[in-house]
Amino acid sequence: MTDIDTIRETERRFGAYNYHPLPVVLTRGAGCHVWDTSGRRYLDMMSAYSAVSHGHANPRLVAEMTRQAGRLSVVSRAFYSDRLAPFLEKLCGMTGQDMALPMNTGAEAVETGIKAARKWAYEVKGVAADRAEIIVCRGNFHGRTIAAVAMSSETQYRKNFGPLPTGFCLIDYADPAALDQAINEHTAAFIVEPIQGEGGIVVPPDGYLAACAEICRRRNVLLICDEIQTGLGRTGTFLASEHDGVRPDGLMLGKALGGGLYPVSAFLARRDVLGRFAPGDHGSTFGGNPLAAAIAVEALNILSDEKLCDNSAAMGRHLTDGLRAIASPLITDIRGRGLLLGIEIDPRRAAARDVCERLMAHGILTKETHETVVRLAPPLIIDRPTLDWAIARIDAALKSMSAC
């Protein structure tokens, strides 16, 4: 048994199943690349589900993390720290939101948003006690907590985890009329992804989010955008909701907010929404700790200083054009925005998982989603020569599969 086999077998023996990883053991990363235990280099075209937008071991982020870790890391929210207030001010300023509540994981930000929306519904809108409803979309992914899977339409996410919380209404994605029809006197909020990531990189028609925003305003319902995967430059704008000129009433951020080094998330909203929380209503031991705040501020600074949103837009166009030029019978569609793209694979010809394994053999690492889609979401620092190399390797991998 090789060292790689030993590592994988030990993980399988002592670790409960989580994802279904590709058969590679990684040990080092720098920029857009990672290396396995045998020293082979790969181009990371997934960025840990958009968490590593700044690149692996970004020098500025590593330096800031090291400085702060040697000074003060965690004190809990029982005390003030000198790093949290600047983080909150910067994050609210960049998003246009009034208030923010920092958490750790994206799923925690979603849970915070659910609680805030319900509290607003009871205390501001006047919904009857314990009757508040939240509308979500089929095909969504908002996390793995019990509340998040209660919002999901995926059978596997829900099976044998009941009883699940109630108070959620599922409608079709990209259908404003369905939203309008689903709203009733108990509706607190509509939580939606501007682009469905885990759902298969599903991009709604232009104007969809704007239409939803108009409906929510007219019907006195909160529009809450889950931008944990799509935010912070991933789609070529700072927030994906900007493509439709929308400022949501509430916003979830995470993943890239921690610079790929530390779990940092936040729920942001209007003051009349988040301002309803009183001390003790909600909390987190680690959320907003000095180390997290320092890293997140630097992550936001890098996005601005290095114009990563602009690079995402330009490199996304280049990658899209290159992928669409590939003549392969395996491809049925190329879709996405910025550097969040999906290659739809014809299931009659190949499985997306098999394509990912073939890409790995050609030096590219990524993962399938929704069984038929290969996700491509490289770090936002990627350049044109690296993308040209990737496009050529993707072309070669697909050609090798078509020839079989």
Contact 119, 267 (CB under 8 A): no
Determine phi and psi for 26, rounding to 5 degrees. Answer: -95, 150
Q: Cα separation of 44 and 258, whole Å? A: 18
Q: Is 281 assigned a catalytic role?
A: no
Which run of H or E residues covers position 216?
Answer: helix 208-219
Catalytic residue among 141, 190, 238, 286: 141
Report the 10 Å Cβ neighbour count for 360: 18
Catalytic residue among 255, 267, 286, 367: 255
Q: Alpha-carbon torsion 172, 174, 179, 181, what sign? A: negative
Catalytic residue among 87, 226, 249, 267: 226
Sheet containing 265-269, strands listed edge to edge, beginning at the edge strand earlier in sequence: 99-103, 265-269, 250-253, 222-226, 187-192, 133-137, 168-171
Report the 10 Å Cβ neighbour count for 29: 18
What single-letter amino acid sits at 96? G
For residue 100, the number of C-alpha atoms closer than 13 Å in the C-beta half-sphere is 27
Q: Which ranges in 45-202 belong to alpha helices (H)?
A: 47-50, 59-69, 84-95, 106-120, 146-150, 155-158, 176-182
Q: Which of 192, 252, 256, 198 is nearest to 227 (CA)?
A: 252
Q: How open is the CA angle 88-115-94, to the nearest 5 degrees?
A: 25
Which run of H or E residues covers position 314?
Answer: helix 308-324
Q: Cα separation of 4 and 280, whole Å? A: 47
Report the 10 Å Cβ neighbour count for 65: 21
Contact 269, 97 (CB under 8 A): yes
What single-letter amino acid sits at 397? A
Sheet containing 33-36, strands listed edge to edge, beginning at the edge strand earlier in sequence: 26-30, 33-36, 41-44, 364-365
Q: Is 226 assigned a catalytic role?
A: yes
Residues with catalytic annotation? 141, 226, 255
